[in-house]
């Protein structure tokens, strides 16, 4: 049973595999909206144009700590005026302004009707119940008019915006309790391997730290997914099957790592082949062994276990579609000049780890798919087509920004 359905056909192209994955994940693209409280909306993508229900400022108020006056009275200075009231910020209904008087007023406090300007406290001298105005002011100075920032009905945040702190600020300022946002695709991560342990424990000989769990979860979150679980299974078929059903019970997409290549304990391939999964080689490096399945109605993508293979698989097959599903803008590929010559294996699309330079792009370390530190230094993947075997310095190459 275990090895009965091992796929041995010719390698498929990256484009063919991408097309199959895109078909499987197409249902994720029809995201409904939900309303979340504004304080919880950071990072979410708004699902409709958000307009203001109110004017901002809500009422005419002072921009400075100072004295509210009428313009005619302070046209020529110095002039000494009686201080007839004090208005702090807070709920008040100030009496109408009496020309020729001054009202002590704090920043943000409502201006009396008829007061036309605020003289900042720095430009005054107070003596008892009087204030001497030292600088002339004209109507409107240091006054914030109602609606001068936002008119009721004005567009605050356009549909499709990923909310930053400044957006949370304006939505809160107009008093909106909630904001409509795209729901995030619910994705489960399931890593496999008898050798894996968590950070914090001491690996026994033969054990390694599980990096694909955290890495896939981070990649998913960075691209708009709601990571519903990050689980791990041994290479035991029953353990994997149980973990898989746990994952499909919560997620709309499951991504597994490991257990899909040509070894003897390929639990992912063995179990999913028996459930209608399709496994085979994709003509790429890293990331060649790939599989897809549908379990409990939920699409499952199976990535190879080498950490670089796993993340490159994510970049190619999941990131573009996930970003669309989450309502995030695409990250376009770019074309830049190679800093140095390189060779590439015929028949395989290579995704080399590269780093931008002032003149173009160069590779970072070698192609080994276990080289996680080199990947961490990289900021692009250099995409070498399958039929290209040699490039010289200055040749233009396609890069995927990371």
> Under the rule (CB under 5 A), what is the footprint of Mg ion?
193, 258-259, 305
Shortest Cβ distance from residue 199 to ligand AMP (Å)?
Answer: 11
Residues 228-257 that bind ligand AMP (CB under 6 A): 257
Say which entry of ligand AMP, Mg ion, none residue 226 contacts (CB below 5 to 8 A, set by partner kind): none
Q: Which residue is nearest to Mg ion (CB)?
A: 258
Q: Which is nearer to Mg ion, 104 or 269 (CB)?
A: 269
Beta strands per DSSP E along 183-288 = 186-192, 196-197, 208-209, 226-233, 253-257, 278-281, 284-285
Residue 219 interacts with ligand AMP (CB under 6 A): yes or no: no
Q: Which residue is nearest to ligand AMP (CB)?
A: 305
Shortest Cβ distance from residue 260 to ligand AMP (Å)?
Answer: 6
Say which entry of ligand AMP, Mg ion, none residue 195 contacts (CB below 5 to 8 A, set by partner kind): ligand AMP
Say which entry of ligand AMP, Mg ion, none residue 365 contacts (CB below 5 to 8 A, set by partner kind): none
Residue 258 interacts with ligand AMP (CB under 6 A): yes or no: yes
Shortest Cβ distance from residue 266 to ligand AMP (Å)?
Answer: 7
- Going from the C-alpha of 352 to that of each of 340, 363, 384, the distances in angstroms are 13, 7, 8
Strands 396-401 and 380-384: antiparallel
Q: Which is nearer to ligand AMP, 305 or 354 (CB)?
A: 305
Residue 208's beta-bridge partner residues?
A: 196
- DSSP letter assigned to residue 318: I
- Going from the C-alpha of 312 to that of each of 60, 76, 221, 373, 397, the distances in angstroms are 56, 72, 16, 14, 17
Nearby residues of 150 by Cβ (< 8 Å), 6 or more positions away: 52, 54, 55, 56, 156, 170, 174
CA 2 to chain centroid, in Å, comes to 41
Figure out which of the listed residues 210, 252, 315, 339 binds ligand AMP, where binding follows CB under 6 A.
210
Say if residues 178 and 34 touch (Cβ distance below 8 Å): no
Structure tokens at 164: 């930053």
Q: Which is nearer to ligand AMP, 3 or 340 (CB)?
A: 3
Number of residues located near ligand AMP, criterion CB under 6 A = 19
Residue 263 interacts with ligand AMP (CB under 6 A): yes or no: yes
Q: Which is nearer to Mg ion, 259 or 299 (CB)?
A: 259
What's the CA dihedral at 371, 376, 378, 379 to 10 degrees?
150
Shortest Cβ distance from residue 258 to Mg ion (Å)?
Answer: 4
Residues 291-330 that bind ligand AMP (CB under 6 A): 304-307
Structure tokens at 179: 């904001």
Residue 212 interacts with ligand AMP (CB under 6 A): yes or no: yes
Say which entry of Mg ion, ligand AMP, none residue 18 contacts (CB below 5 to 8 A, set by partner kind): none
Say which entry of ligand AMP, Mg ion, none residue 22 contacts (CB below 5 to 8 A, set by partner kind): none
Say if residues 388 and 321 touch (Cβ distance below 8 Å): no
- Going from the C-alpha of 396 to that of each of 84, 193, 380, the distances in angstroms are 75, 39, 14
Residue 360 interacts with ligand AMP (CB under 6 A): yes or no: no
How many CB atoms are closer than 10 A to CB 230?
A: 19
Residues that bind ligand AMP (CB under 6 A): 191, 193, 195-196, 208, 210-213, 257-261, 263, 304-307
């Amino acid at each position: 049973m275990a090895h009965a359905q091992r796929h041995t056909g010719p390698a498929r192209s990256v484009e063919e595999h991408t097309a199959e994955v895109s078909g499987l994940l197409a249902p994720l693209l029809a995201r409904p909206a939900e309303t979340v409280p504004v304080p919880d909306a950071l990072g979410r993508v708004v699902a409709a144009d958000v307009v203001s229900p109110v004017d901002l400022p809500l009422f005419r108020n002072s921009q400075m700590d100072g004295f509210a006056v009428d313009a005619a009275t302070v046209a020529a200075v110095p002039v000494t005026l009686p201080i007839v009231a004090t208005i702090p910020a807070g709920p008040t209904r100030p009496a109408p302004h009496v020309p020729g008087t001054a009202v002590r007023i704090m920043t943000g406090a409502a201006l009396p009707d008829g007061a036309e300007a605020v003289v900042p406290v720095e430009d005054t001298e107070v003596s008892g119940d009087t204030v001497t105005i030292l600088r002339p002011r004209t109507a409107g100075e240091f006054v914030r008019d109602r609606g001068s920032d936002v008119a009721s009905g004005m567009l605050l945040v356009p549909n499709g915006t990923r909310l930053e702190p400044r957006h949370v600020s304006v939505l809160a300022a107009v008093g909106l309790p909630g904001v409509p946002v795209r729901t995030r695709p619910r994705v489960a991560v399931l890593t496999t391997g008898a050798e894996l342990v968590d950070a914090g424990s001491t690996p026994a000989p033969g054990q390694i730290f599980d990096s694909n769990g955290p890495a896939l979860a981070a990649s998913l979150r960075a691209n708009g997914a709601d990571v519903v679980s990050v689980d791990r299974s041994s290479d035991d078929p029953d353990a994997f099957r149980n973990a898989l059903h746990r994952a499909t019970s919560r997620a709309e997409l499951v991504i597994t790592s490991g257990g899909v290549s040509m070894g003897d304990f390929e639990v992912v391939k063995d179990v999913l082949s028996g459930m209608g999964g399709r496994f085979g080689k994709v003509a790429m490096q890293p990331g060649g062994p790939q599989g897809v399945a549908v379990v409990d109605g939920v699409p499952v993508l199976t990535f190879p276990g080498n950490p670089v293979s796993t993340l490159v698989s994510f970049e190619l097959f999941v990131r573009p579609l996930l970003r669309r599903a989450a309502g995030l803008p695409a990250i376009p590929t770019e074309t830049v000049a190679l800093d140095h010559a390189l060779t590439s294996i015929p028949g395989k699309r290579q995704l080399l780890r590269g780093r931008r330079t002032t003149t173009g792009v160069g590779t970072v370390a070698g192609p080994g798919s276990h080289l996680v530190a080199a990947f961490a230094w990289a900021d692009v993947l250099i995409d070498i087509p399958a039929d290209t075997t040699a490039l010289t310095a200055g040749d233009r190459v396609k890069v995927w920004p990371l």
